Amino acid sequence: MLSAVFIYNQKGEVLISRLYRHDVKRSAADVFRVHVISAVGGVRSPITTLGSTSFFHIRYDNLWLCAVARHNANAALVFEFLYRLLGLGVSYFGRFDEQAVKNNFVLVYELLDEVLDFGYPQNIEVDTLKLYVTTESVRTQGPVEPPQITMQATGAMTWRRQDIFYKKNEAFVDVIESVNLLVSAKGTVLRADVQGQIVMRSFLSGMPECKFGLNDKLVLDQHPASSSTSKPMVAGGSAAVDIADCQFHQCVRLGRFDVDRTISFVPPDGEFELMRYRAADSVNLPFKVLPVVRERGRIVEYEVLIKANFNAKLSATNMVVTVPTPPNATKCHIKVAGPGKAKYHPEQNAMVWRISRLQGQQETSLTAVVDLAAMSKPAPWSRPPISLDFQVLMFTASGLLVRFLKVFEKSNYQSVKWVRYMTKAGSYQIRI
């Protein structure tokens, strides 16, 4: 398992160095800096193996998180650990950046001592750790008895404390879908899929047992009678969604899901990602983009038409359309017909078209003429794709719906449940 964990700032200065095994020396930190951080030509792989020492790194904000192993390490585990370490930092310090690490380095060391034992990841659940790894900024409600902590840290439900109490029991469910789209220059859809995320914020007392139901095709096919649930205002033709695959938070009982696709769990307190899913069939694309880009000698002409392809009662917000221009562009004459404003951003080699709101079924278009500078050695332009960023509330591109969320608890309290839907752009790209 891991022999060391290092955290560097952008320049490659070591902020945190924690060695777990004797097969690695502190000087390994320099090796990584020399060979990766300051390597010429950039980083070509997240894993660098020199001799039998392997460095795994991820980058976040202005930090480099690096784990070192001297054996045939389980690479997936290492990266999951690093991701999780990041998450831990974020939830402890709000932001996880150089300043946060410098201000809280003792705490970081404490955490590192706790989450890795001899290089083996142990418990990395924030809720539990906060019980006994604390700072001034993070204080628990009251003193907790050590045995209770240890039970919590080693028990079957490391993610939830026993003694949670709320006056008002509420649970919020957010269904957030990212649509990935890749359209070829000829207009054929090369790839369209949806990555969904169901994020839950639970403010429930005691040890609630939750059951969660979706309009999952497999479930509905099993129980055809129950498929007559009313639909909220969500686009999507069919009542059931074909979920290609899903993954769950560790609180979900995978065994039960495997047997009858019941999603049952005892939720952690507060916000957590209950599940991730993937749907690739019959994706409702929220926008149609019709670009025409012509290169004519020293100018490039653009015509880009965007149509909102969802219910007229809904609207998209915070839309950003990035229309790439050649690197040698000098001037852009842009006209927008319809909502939105566009501006040329030379540093991005693109025209950035911001549309604060686009109603369903509405259209907007951009026409532009871009002047190019003469080049001594004309190089062809790689024509990067147009990319879209947006949010559409109360719309799911996959057509997924939450059918129910049931909460069972000993004390049999009433709970209030809220569901929101949002679709946003994942990698929504149209080649030109």
Asked if 211 touches another protein (CB under 8 A), the answer is no
Asked if 246 touches another protein (CB under 8 A), the answer is yes
Asked if 38 touches another protein (CB under 8 A), the answer is no
Query: Which DSSP symbol is given to 226?
Result: G
DSSP string, 323-372: EE--TTEEEEEEEEESS-EEEEEGGGTEEEEEEEEEETT-EEEEEEEEEE
Task: Specify whether the CB–CB gap between 212 and 272 falls below 8 A.
Answer: no
Asked if 347 touches another protein (CB under 8 A), the answer is no
Among 117, 170, 221, 260, binds another protein (CB under 8 A): 117
Phi and psi at residue 109, to the nearest 5°: -60, -40
Phi and psi at residue 333, to the nearest 5°: -105, 105
CB-wise, 169 or 195, nearer to another protein? 195
Least Å distance, CB 114 to another protein, is 9
Least Å distance, CB 110 to another protein, is 5
Task: Specify whether the CB–CB gap between 244 and 280 falls below 8 A.
Answer: yes
Place of tokens 């221009």: 325
Q: What is the x/- site pattern for another protein, positions 169-188, by CB under 8 A?
A: -----------x-x-xx---
Least Å distance, CB 207 to another protein, is 15
Strand order in the sheet with 2-9: 14-19, 2-9, 63-69, 53-60, 47-50
Task: Specify whether the CB–CB gap between 277 and 258 falls below 8 A.
Answer: no
Least Å distance, CB 230 to another protein, is 29
The Cα–Cα gap between 125 and 77 comes to 16
Subset of 367-406 contacting another protein (CB under 8 A):
379-380, 382-385, 387
Q: Single out the segment in contact with another protein by CB under 8 A; choices: 141-149, 162-170, 344-352, 417-425.
A: 141-149
CB-wise, 68 or 308, nearer to another protein? 68
Subset of 261-280 contacting another protein (CB under 8 A):
273, 275-276, 278, 280
Among 38, 99, 247, 361, binds another protein (CB under 8 A): 247
Asked if 190 touches another protein (CB under 8 A), the answer is yes
The Cα–Cα gap between 277 and 177 comes to 9
Phi and psi at residue 128, to the nearest 5°: -70, -45
The Cα–Cα gap between 400 and 277 comes to 10
CB-wise, 133 or 369, nearer to another protein? 133
Size of the site for another protein (CB under 8 A): 94
Asked if 76 touches another protein (CB under 8 A), the answer is yes
Subset of 8-27 contacting another protein (CB under 8 A):
14-17, 19-22, 26
